[in-house]
Amino acid sequence: MPSRRDFNQIPVLDLQLADDISTKPQLLAQLRHALIHVGFLYVVNHGVPQTAISDIVNALPDLFSLPPEAKEEVALSNSPHFLGYSGDGTETTAGKADRREQFEFATELDAKWSTAEPLYERLRGPNQWPSAYPSLRPIVETYISEMTLLGQRFLRLIAEALSLPSPEPLFAFLSDQHRLKLVRYPPSTLEPGSLVQGVGPHKDSSGWWTFLLQASSPHVRGLQVLSGNGSWIDAPVVPGSFVVNIGQAFEVVTGGVCKATTHRVVLAPDSPERFSIPFFQGVKRSLTKQEAVGTLEDHFKRLHDKDPSGTQGAISIDSPFLEGKYDTWGESQLRTKIRSHRDVGKKFYGHVFDKYVNE
């Protein structure tokens, strides 16, 4: 018998159905199914203005064509907040180097960390803006604001789909800082039959929810999602959509009823350059394990007991946050960031570097 998380395609949800009381129940039922059985979905008619999307998509070719010194000016290695540019091959996922270059931005905030505060508060801080491309800043800021709003609308729908009495408990987990990556995968020139890792298999660890814009034309493929039966399902470009998926903290808070699903990007032989823009809705840094597990535990246990077939297996949660020895989400994030960007770790977090890298 197929397990509950076998799927062979990713559902497409029309958020406009929420605007009419006669169609909203249909949307909520589709959403509940996608949350519990797939962990990945597309949204269309999502309400994000087309100009905010096309402005950022159109900025990508010029941004990535900047000369090396303009990229160096905003290198991630300058930033204790892990914001800025990192080059092709500098990040590893599942033990292998990823083939992508990226600019990482976040909600624009001051750096106000002092030694009286937990070290993870130093993750909060301002962006680095390339001086060679001054028009980028308003484009990115507008996009982050719009995606912040979409994330909030989406959380309200999720609360209803999961029968929560109110969305407030979900909002209480949110951070003041959401993160955005502008990503370019290079064209591939491989021999037939070989595949290159754009980004290796992973579950999103840095956010509550991810909203991904596939910013290339529909013939450019690459994103794949792991079904419960072990097969990789293509997630092609659906024009006018965002791909939405669950982050690891949300899996923890729902007691594993909603699972973070593994995904990857593979570059096939002769594949063209590919752009994507993931927005990671942030989780508050001070969140403790106890709060994450305990706040909605009773609700999700009841949901599981009411529909044990639908949420079968809900008890197992595979979470570095829960399994790790660090009690807050912020510290667990800081550790992850230091491990994946060791140059930044050594430079700004020298006194904890060995602890986080060797433990």
Ligand X SMILES: O=C(O)CCC(=O)C(=O)O
Would you tell me which residues interact with ligand X (CB under 6 A)?
Answer: 181, 183, 199, 204, 212, 214, 223, 263, 265, 276, 278
Instruction: Give CA torsion, residues 338, 146, 221, 199, to 10 deg.
Output: 0
Smallest gap from Cβ 355 to ligand X, in A, equals 26
Q: Which does 276 bind (CB under 5 to 8 A by kind): Fe ion, ligand X, none?
A: ligand X
Taking the least distance from each CB to Fe ion, the nearer of 84 and 207 is 207
Taking the least distance from each CB to ligand X, the nearer of 43 and 265 is 265
Taking the least distance from each CB to Fe ion, the nearer of 100 and 289 is 100
Question: What SS3 class is residue 243?
Answer: strand
Q: Which does 99 bind (CB under 5 to 8 A by kind): Fe ion, ligand X, none?
A: none
Taking the least distance from each CB to Fe ion, the nearer of 101 and 204 is 204
Q: Which does 48 bind (CB under 5 to 8 A by kind): Fe ion, ligand X, none?
A: none
Q: Which does 265 bind (CB under 5 to 8 A by kind): Fe ion, ligand X, none?
A: ligand X
DSSP 226: E
Smallest gap from Cβ 272 to ligand X, in A, equals 14
Smallest gap from Cβ 165 to ligand X, in A, equals 32
Tell whether residue 98 is a contact of Fe ion (CB under 5 A): no
**x/- binding map, residues 174-213, to Fe ion, per CB under 5 A?**
------------------------------x---------
**Exposed/middle/buried for 352, CB within 10 Å: 0-12, 13-18, 19+?**
middle
* Rounded Cα–Cα distance for residues 46 and 169 (Å): 23
Tokens coding 133: 């491309």
Tell whether residue 101 is a contact of Fe ion (CB under 5 A): no
**x/- binding map, residues 9-48, to Fe ion, per CB under 5 A?**
----------------------------------------
Question: What SS3 class is residue 225?
Answer: strand
Tokens coding 25: 């129940």
The answer to whether 18 and 29 have CB atoms below 8 angstroms apart is no
Smallest gap from Cβ 213 to ligand X, in A, equals 9
For residues 228-260, one letter each, b for 16 or more C-beta atoms within 10 angstroms of the residue's C-beta and e for the rest, the string is beeeebebebeeebbbbbbbbbbbbbbbbbbbb
Smallest gap from Cβ 204 to Fe ion, in A, equals 4
Bridge pairing between strands 274-281 and 209-214: antiparallel
**Nearest residue to Fe ion, by Cβ distance, number only:** 204
Smallest gap from Cβ 66 to ligand X, in A, equals 20
Smallest gap from Cβ 354 to Fe ion, in A, equals 28
Smallest gap from Cβ 271 to ligand X, in A, equals 13
Sheet strands (E) in the chain: 12-14, 40-44, 84-86, 92-93, 96-97, 101-106, 179-185, 196-202, 209-214, 223-226, 232-234, 242-246, 263-267, 274-281
* Rounded Cα–Cα distance for residues 347 and 282 (Å): 25
Tell whether residue 91 is a contact of Fe ion (CB under 5 A): no
- Which are the contacts of 96, defined by CB distance < 8 A and separation ≥ 6? 197, 200
* Rounded Cα–Cα distance for residues 182 and 156 (Å): 27
The answer to whether 246 and 261 have CB atoms below 8 angstroms apart is yes
Taking the least distance from each CB to Fe ion, the nearer of 204 and 331 is 204
**Nearest residue to ligand X, by Cβ distance, number only:** 276
Instruction: Write out the residues near Fe ion by the rule CB under 5 A.
Output: 204
